Amino acid sequence: AQKLPVDWNNYQITRNDQYTSSLLNAARGVRSMMRSALIGVTISAVIVLSLMLLLWMNDRRQEMGVLVSLGIGKPSLIAQYLTEMILIGLPSLVFGWLCARGMAQWLGTSALRSVNASAAKELSSMGQVGGDLESNMSVRTLDSLTVSIDTTAVLYVSLGLLAVMLVCVAISCIPMLRKSPRSLSELR
C-alpha cells in the first residue's frame, strides 16, 4: 500500500477488525454446534443400529447355528454380516450424498436470505448511513451463495459409516457367537 501513488498525509489509517472478529466468532459457534450434533447423531446411530442388528441376529440365530456346526468359522460369519452391512450402506451413502447436496444449498440460501433480511432491518433502523469506508463496508451484503460438499468430507463420512458398521456388527454378533452351535440352532 505504501508503494501506491497516494499522499498518505491526507489519510488516517486505523485498524478495524470488528467485522472479521464477529464473523470468526460466529463461525466458531457454528463449528462447535455442528461438532456436538455430529457426536450426538453418531452415538444415536450406533445405539439404534446395534439394537436393530441384535434383533436381526436373533432372527438369524438358527442360520448361525447351522453354519457354525457345518464348520464355518465365527470370523467368517462376522465378515459375512459386515459385507451385508456394507452392501446395504453403499446405496445409503450415495442417496445421502445426493440429499445432502440439495439440502446444503437450500440451507445456505436460507441462511443468507435470513442474514441479509436481518442486516437490512438493522440498517433501516440506523437511519442515514455516512459515506466513509466503514459505513460503506457495513452496508455490503452477499447476493448469492454457492454451497458444495467437499470430497474429503464424503471420504470422512464414508470412513465414519464404516466405523459405525464395524462397531454395530461387533456389538450385535458377540452375544450370539458366544453360544454353542447347538443352543443357536434350537427352536425358541
Tell me: the pLDDT tens digits for 63-120? 888 888 888 888 888 888 889 888 988 998 899 888 888 888 888 888 778 777 776 6
Residue bearing cell 440451507: 107
Q: Where are the domains of the chain?
A: 17-114+145-185
Banded pLDDT at 31 (limits 50, 70, 90): confident
pLDDT at 91: 92
Question: Pick from 143, 134, 144: which is nearest to 19 by CA?
Answer: 134
Q: Which residues contact 153 (CB under 8 A, 6 or more apart)?
A: none
Banded pLDDT at 171 (limits 50, 70, 90): confident
User: How much of the chain, in percent, has pLDDT values that exceed 90?
Assistant: 5
Question: Does residue 150 surpass a pLDDT of 80?
Answer: yes
